[in-house]
Amino acid sequence: MITQLDVDGIPTVLAPTNGPMHAGLVFRVGFADEPLAKRGITHLVEHLALHSFGVADYHYNGATSVEYTFFHMQGAEADIVAFLNGVCTALNDLPMHRLSTEKEILRTEENGRSEGPTEALALWRHGARDYGVVTYPEWGLTGITPDDLRAWVGRYFTQQNAALWIAGPAVPAGLKLTLPSGYRQPVPVASSALPVRPAFFHGPSNVVAWNSVVNRETRASVFSGVLERALFRSLRQESGLSYTVASNYEPRADGSAVISAFADALPEKQGAVLGGFVDVLATVRLGLIDQADVTTVVNQRCEEMTHAEESGARLPGQAFNLLAGRPVLSIEEALAELRAVTHDDVVAVAAAAYRDGLLMTPGRTDADWAGYTDAPNSSEQVVQGTAYPSLEDPSLRLVAGEAGVSMVGEDSAATVWFNQCAAMLAWPDGARRFVGHDGIQVSFEPSLFANGHALVPALDARVRPDLRTPMPPRDASRIPVPRPPDQQQGQVPPPYLGPSSNASDGGGSTAGAVIMLVVLSPILLFTGFLGLILLLATVLDSEDTGFEIIFGLTMLSIAAACGYGVYRAIKRLRNR
């Protein structure tokens, strides 16, 4: 039975266990609380707090998750006391002499980390803020200072923002959790980068993935299990299209929960796997859910919860609930909630989950045929400012203005507005990467754009200092240089001058485009018409057609070249 009490002013849950004592200290701070410019700061605090323990004979560890950071240990009472007291001592005075070393350790750890099959969903759903930050590398490590760490600890690693769990008979003697005073920190408000749902985007060729944000309820957890069974039965047992099929239920502190699911696929079977996956989602949405699946999942969850109660594994979740302001349920109450879930409850969750769904399709496959809207992957607007042409690609230009920066290509544009910038990555050689709240990025290599290096100071001045994220120096071989002219896509056009430019010769490009239209259009019509007539004549006259075929194809080739010139001229006029 779980007992609630206070230890040194910290809310605590305690319950006896049939195994060795296990205790943990948890704080309401995680990746979702970090601004992108300081990505990695919570993880760094965790590492520094554990440094003094080195190699020990007992099992201890720390972990940073999306919403929580915790330190836990399993072992003898005296060892647990020494560990938890030591963590609190370290948090009051982090070993800053280890700062550079721990940063390198974290970079090495990240380098060996692989992306999970559903991780990209958070980025497309939330962008570069709160619950989307977890998908980004720990870019902030290089620029984090001792003052940054002290301020972070003073805000989040406090007595009022902590909870404790103990799996054992009683609070061990000598436990003294001395932490700075502070405030309970609110849960981040989830942002959205999706204007319409359900939506889809393209992902790797070997996996289909999906997620949805629903209310945090026991019935939603049951639906997650039912969905996994339906997907497994359809995609593995019946069709043999997938090997790994899984679903997951992740509760959040704000009262919502994320249900995610995925299935692997061979590249040549990706269309079939996508179709089968979408069919299952549509089936459960319509309420075609087997009652036997609901009963099986409820029974499985009850068995898992009973085992967790016996081993003390429910306690960490109950400590998280304390920090989230949620009630701590006894095992009897939790089991009663599970057993009360009905078929209609699961159907209601399925319908709500479908409406909020985000689907990651394999490779270049689309899902608009199934009612999903293409998630935005480019910007609808381009900033007003001065354009800097690429020294390699005539169709590419950077546009910099007072309000933001855009990278404009042949068919799309990426824009980051300075007042919606999540971070600006800054390399010592001048390279810059701007990341917008919506996840759109603009990468700028000054060596590849006309007057690029002269633009860098102006860009830096327009971004708030706290958003500047210093990056480690790059090896000289990784700094790009323009390719020789004979390796470039074509001749570099004159600089594009945006609508706000005051340059006096801005009409030259427009005049050239008009001249091209006037000259090339009649040639296009004449040569195209003549080429078609000659080729048609060869069909009607079966003798002596060699000359007509050669001359007709030549005329059509000239027409095609003129057509491309007309297209480029029209595109230039539209871009003015």
Closest to 284 in 3D by CA, of 299, 295, 298, 294:
294
pLDDT computed for residue 576 by the predictor: 40
Q: CA neighbours within 13 Å on the CB side: how many for 327?
A: 6
Mean pLDDT of 549-553: 67
pLDDT band with cut points at 50, 70 and 90 for residue 540: low
pLDDT computed for residue 503 by the predictor: 32
Mean pLDDT of 46-67: 86
Is residue 232 included in any domain, yes or no? yes
The pair of structure tokens assigned to 238 is: 């019946």
pLDDT band with cut points at 50, 70 and 90 for residue 411: confident
Residue 444's φ and ψ, nearest 5 degrees, are -130, 115
Say yes or no: 357 and 470 in one domain: no
Q: Which residue has the tokens 């700062």?
A: 99
Report yes or no: 506 and 386 within 8 Å, Cβ to Cβ.
no
Say yes or no: 354 and 277 in one domain: yes
Report yes or no: 130 and 191 within 8 Å, Cβ to Cβ.
yes
Report yes or no: 50 and 71 within 8 Å, Cβ to Cβ.
yes
Strands (E), 181-244: 199-203, 207-215
Q: Nearest 5°: CA angle at 273, between 345 and 268?
A: 170
Mean pLDDT of the residues in the chain = 89
pLDDT computed for residue 501 by the predictor: 31
Parallel, antiparallel or unpaired: strands 245-251 and 256-264? antiparallel
Report yes or no: 373 and 200 within 8 Å, Cβ to Cβ.
yes
Number of domain units in the chain: 4
Widest CA span of the chain, in angstroms? 108
CATH number of the domain within which 393 lies: 2.30.29
Mean pLDDT of 433-438: 97
Dump pLDDT digits (tens) for 19-46: 789 999 999 999 999 999 999 999 999 9
Say yes or no: 82 and 139 in one domain: yes
pLDDT at residue 480 greater than cutoff 60: yes
Is residue 119 included in any domain, yes or no? yes
Closest to 220 in 3D by CA, of 212, 230, 229, 209:
212
Angstrom distance (rounded) from CA 393 to CA 400: 18
Say yes or no: 230 and 358 in one domain: yes
Residue 381's φ and ψ, nearest 5 degrees, are -120, 155
pLDDT computed for residue 485 by the predictor: 61
The alpha carbon dihedral of 424, 33, 222, 237 has a sign of positive
Q: Is the pTM higher than 0.75?
A: yes
**Count of beta carbons in the 10 Å neighbourhood of residue 474:** 13
Mean pLDDT of 93-111: 95
Say yes or no: 55 and 141 in one domain: yes
Report yes or no: 561 and 511 within 8 Å, Cβ to Cβ.
no
Q: Which residue has the tokens 């502070």?
A: 182
Angstrom distance (rounded) from CA 89 to CA 373: 52
Residue 564's φ and ψ, nearest 5 degrees, are -65, -40
Closest to 196 in 3D by CA, of 368, 34, 1, 340:
368
pLDDT computed for residue 542 by the predictor: 54
DSSP label at residue 342: -
pLDDT at residue 419 greater than cutoff 70: yes
**Residue ending a domain, choose from 374, 402, 424:** 374
pLDDT band with cut points at 50, 70 and 90 for residue 511: very low
Angstrom distance (rounded) from CA 173 to CA 506: 80
pLDDT computed for residue 575 by the predictor: 43
Say yes or no: 516 and 440 in one domain: no
CATH number of the domain within which 13 lies: 3.30.830.10
Mean pLDDT of 307-311: 91
Say yes or no: 215 and 300 in one domain: yes
The alpha carbon dihedral of 125, 130, 131, 132 has a sign of positive
Mean pLDDT of 530-548: 64
Is residue 193 included in any domain, yes or no? no
Say yes or no: 390 and 370 in one domain: no
3-state secondary structure of 18: coil
pLDDT computed for residue 391 by the predictor: 94
Angstrom distance (rounded) from CA 350 to CA 364: 27
Mean pLDDT of 384-406: 95
Mean pLDDT of 520-541: 69
Is residue 194 included in any domain, yes or no? no
Say yes or no: 45 and 156 in one domain: yes
Q: Nearest 5°: CA angle at 39, between 35 and 40?
A: 140
Is residue 312 included in any domain, yes or no? yes
Say yes or no: 405 and 341 in one domain: no
Strand order in the sheet with 441-444: 441-444, 432-436, 421-426, 468-470
pLDDT computed for residue 555 by the predictor: 72
Residue 333, judged by CB atoms within 10 A of its CB (0-12, 13-18, 19+), counts as: exposed
Q: CA neighbours within 13 Å on the CB side: how many for 35?
A: 16
- Radius of gyration for the chain, computed over Cα atoms and rounded to the nearest angstrom: 30
**Count of beta carbons in the 10 Å neighbourhood of residue 381:** 11
Report yes or no: 63 and 70 within 8 Å, Cβ to Cβ.
yes
Dump pLDDT digits (tens) for 191-226: 999 999 999 999 999 999 999 999 999 999 999 999
Report yes or no: 435 and 447 within 8 Å, Cβ to Cβ.
no
pLDDT at residue 280 greater than cutoff 90: yes
Say yes or no: 29 and 98 in one domain: yes
The pair of structure tokens assigned to 121 is: 């969903």
The pair of structure tokens assigned to 23 is: 């205790």
pLDDT at residue 497 greater than cutoff 50: no
Is residue 179 included in any domain, yes or no? no
Mean pLDDT check: name the lowest of 53-67, 304-318, 539-553.
Answer: 539-553
Would you mind telling me the total number of residues written for the chain in this entry?
576
Closest to 363 in 3D by CA, of 277, 438, 268, 276:
268
**Residue ending a domain, choose from 452, 487, 522:** 487
Residue 386's φ and ψ, nearest 5 degrees, are -95, 135
pLDDT computed for residue 523 by the predictor: 76
Percent of the residues in the chain that have a pLDDT greater than 70, as a whole number? 87
Is residue 503 included in any domain, yes or no? no
Is residue 269 included in any domain, yes or no? yes
Report yes or no: 400 and 408 within 8 Å, Cβ to Cβ.
no
Say yes or no: 14 and 159 in one domain: yes
Its domain, for residue 244, covers 199-374
**Residue ending a domain, choose from 429, 453, 487:** 487
